[in-house]
Amino acid sequence: MRRRVAALVLVAVAVAAGGYLVLSGGGGRRAPRAPARGIEIALDDDPVFVRQDHYSRELAFEQARRLGVSWIRVVVPWHTVAGASATRRRPPAGRIYDWTVYDGLVRAARAHGVQVEMALAGPAPAWATADGRVGVDRPEPGSFAGFARSAARHFRGLIHRYSIWNEPNHVAWIAPLQAAPTVYRRLYAAGWAAIKQVDPRAQVLIGETSPHGRPGKVISPLRFLRAVACARCAPLHADGYAHHPYEFADPPERSFPGPDDVTIGSLPRLTTALDCLAAAGLLSTPAGSPLPVYLTEFGYYRSGPHALAPNTRAAYLVRAFGIAARLYPRVRQILQYLLVAPPPGYPGGQFDTSLLTQTGVPTPAFKALAAWASGRSVGPRW
């Protein structure tokens, strides 16, 4: 649930081992964690893992290891990899995208035996929006396909999981809101086709939805899902459904009252909806099965007006991860959003669900989650 946009990640040998893809790490290679113990544990903190704005990436990976993390998610704002061309009304000829910043993350992740999953998201360059400005006004699917194709080509053999957009049911990510389901369906279909054309074995996730509706701001995720996978439309395929089941302030067992909303305590609403869509032939895996679920953002506030007491937050977080783990293998992953607290005045810093202080001191939530996660993570898999 981002209110900020991430700013501005190859050379590897992939070695198949034991049914898992193990990426060699150059000098100082590390063995991957042992697989097959349950749900994937993941982290997302772009200011740290991508840009190292206020904390060392190397130290962050060491702390991630204590949490049993086997995946790092990164959100790639489309316009940032387009560079100076992003503000033009017409797309430039020739090579458009620069992935250098993300190359650094991929190399570092490989060295630590961790996989990277990439959410290809907005804001879009000016030449790919309806209003001709950098932003989220009806991004053009053909141009998005080129963006997705570039990512898949550049990271083929290195990144094995992509998702399409971020919180497309939120007006901050696709506008106007009433057009979002149609716009997203077209973006997703274009992204799926482009990635699979370049790298057929890569996973592509649909969704990345925000947890609950707000009039004029957010379409409830299940209402949005039904509109995307509409009965009069051609079937959609995906390798999984990504969702952000934030609860924020209440115990994780609470079932959010809105029937089309999905928080951590109401995940069966989502799996039931996905079962129905698969049965109707509207949205399924390529094999026709209901989609598995990836919880690609979660956390409780550490600071701000909605922050919980430290020990309460620790208890809620562990219970939430436990809820997801008990639903494995239908729920394949749960991700902690933010590792390190943002410094004062940092853009988007009011959304603080971090586990470490600004200087890297573990909070009670970090300690509790590390204790829970011990022995539960799975190795990199796809």
Residue-wise pLDDT for 268-311, tens only, equals 999 999 999 999 999 999 999 999 999 999 999 999 899 999 99
pLDDT band at 364 (very low <50, low <70, confident <90, very high): very high
3-state SS string over the chain? CCCCCCCCCCCCCEEEECCEEEECCCCCCCCCCCCCCCCEEEEECHHHHCCCCCCCHHHHHHHHHHCCCCEEEEEEEHHHHCHHHHHCCCCCCCCCCCCHHHHHHHHHHHHCCCEEEEEEECCECHHHCCCCCCECECCCHHHHHHHHHHHHHHCCCCCCEEEECCCCCECCCCECHHHHHHHHHHHHHHHHHHHHHHCCCCEEEEEEECCCCECCCECCHHHHHHHHCCCCCCCEECCEEEECCCCECCCCCCCCCCCCCCCHHHHHHHHHHHHHHHHCCCEECCCCCCCCEEECCCCECCCCCCCCCHHHHHHHHHHHHHHHHHCCCCEEEEEEECCECCCCCCCCCCCCCCCECCCCCECHHHHHHHHHHCCCCCCCCC
- Section 74-78 average pLDDT: 98
- Section 42-53 average pLDDT: 97
- Specify the higher pLDDT residue, 152 or 15: 152
pLDDT band at 375 (very low <50, low <70, confident <90, very high): low
- Section 360-382 average pLDDT: 80
Strands 20-23 and 14-17: antiparallel
* Predicted local confidence at residue 369, as pLDDT: 98
d(CA 274, CA 241): 9
Residue holding tokens 């069966």?
268
* pTM reported for the whole predicted model: 0.89
pLDDT band at 18 (very low <50, low <70, confident <90, very high): very low
Of residues 306, 223, 234, 233, the one with CA closest to residue 262: 223
Q: Domains in the chain, start-ordered, CATH in brackets?
A: 14-373 (3.20.20.80)
Q: Are 151 and 76 in contact (CB under 8 A)?
A: yes
pLDDT of 4 higher than 70: no
Residue 228 class from Cβ within 10 Å (0-12 exposed, 13-18 middle, 19+ buried)?
Answer: buried
pLDDT of 255 higher than 70: yes
Residue-wise pLDDT for 88-132, tens only, equals 988 887 778 999 999 999 999 999 999 999 999 999 999 999 999
Give Dmax (Cα) for the chain. 55
pLDDT of 264 higher than 50: yes
pLDDT band at 71 (very low <50, low <70, confident <90, very high): very high
The encoded tokens of residue 93 equal 């000829």
Q: Work out the mean pLDDT of the chain and round it to a whole number.
A: 89
Q: Which of 46-50, 142-146, 199-203, 252-256 has the lowest mean pLDDT?
A: 252-256
* Predicted local confidence at residue 64, as pLDDT: 98
